[in-house]
Chains A and B, each alone.
Chain A
């Protein structure tokens, strides 16, 4: 569905991502992991057309994204940034309704169908009770859900999440990732996310892409990717990998830094 082919990205003169390729199958949850500064977020931003890339191509449903209009892309793909800022007094419902604008011509108003989709997005994110509250009155987890609701109202086929849990406490992290899983399982929404936490990546992903210094290290299922060797190579940490009966995903315990 989404294919990144041989893409290189530079920040001014610094090469951040080098000849990177990977593809995302429809209906998969794919996590991109790697150390700080490895180029994870840069890659995601390039896919979301927020950063230019030098060579290579990114295709969505076999169409090169450079040949699509930004508005057409917005109907199919949506990216949620690490941190978002909204005017303090905007209401949750108002914010979410902006997600409908890519589907509207520039003079068109939102109709009943749009408002149904907005309500649906609020319901999915358990925000119906909060819909008239200003964003500034919400907690971190709630406001992150409001931004996800806005993304949902856009009705994308593929959702990109840039470290969706970074600024949240553990219960809110769990809540957001649970929501991502729900959206994926119930609606078949394809998800590509950048995560820091190896165990979260392991539990919530179908595929994991490991990136190190702008190069792809490995790709595969959590079982294939999460190995002591990989963690030693990429993170310079000794670890133990456990398999527990109540979870399919491997659990990673970090032991110490590599001497």
Chain B
């Protein structure tokens, strides 16, 4: 598998493909990617598109080919959908924390951030990323490849969990993360919250919401949050976001489309119509899909 084929495979699971499928029920980009990655040639022409996409994922998840999506998918399947469910936990993708972006955050009883360091990534920046996540999430993990495992263990602090996606596509825990909501910073947590969510948190804590014009709202919230108890703010942040960012409405869709697409669908925001377009697209025979233009 050469570099171009691999990069085409990576884009099969990109947000643009999902957006196209949701919007139009078809994606010329996906058709091109299936051709240029060589997947189209190796699949039966009457195979349903969903099955072909699964085949693409199987190639991508082979040891040595893995990109960030494979890791994201492993976390989605084995942790979010394996241990929890979309009714009890919410998953956030690419969460901006200061100048960094946490790849995956799971909210159930607590908040857990996962930073992905695939075999294609470098570990440069890891320490500063984790410092940022510690201020917002009670539990912080790095999910990495066997290649990086010993370096990661060496360069991250004791409280950070280290997980390895094994060559056989299993998640192994090298070190458990500690759950430490007390080290979070309410002001940093506030950055994660939309204004109505921040108001919900204040209400839950019995704190009076500032009555100011909307241009001064964030400033006032920041002032208030800075004097609140980190553990209490973190607890209410988790319970607020579990509801406001819940993806339980996506649960049915996930049961009807191939597993390899789950992580991509969970990071897309699709309404009912878009969901049914995606569902219908996955049963289209490959030769029909390849003619999309």
Does A pair with B? no
Interface residue ranges, B against A (CB under 8 Å): none
Interface residue ranges, A against B (CB under 8 Å): none
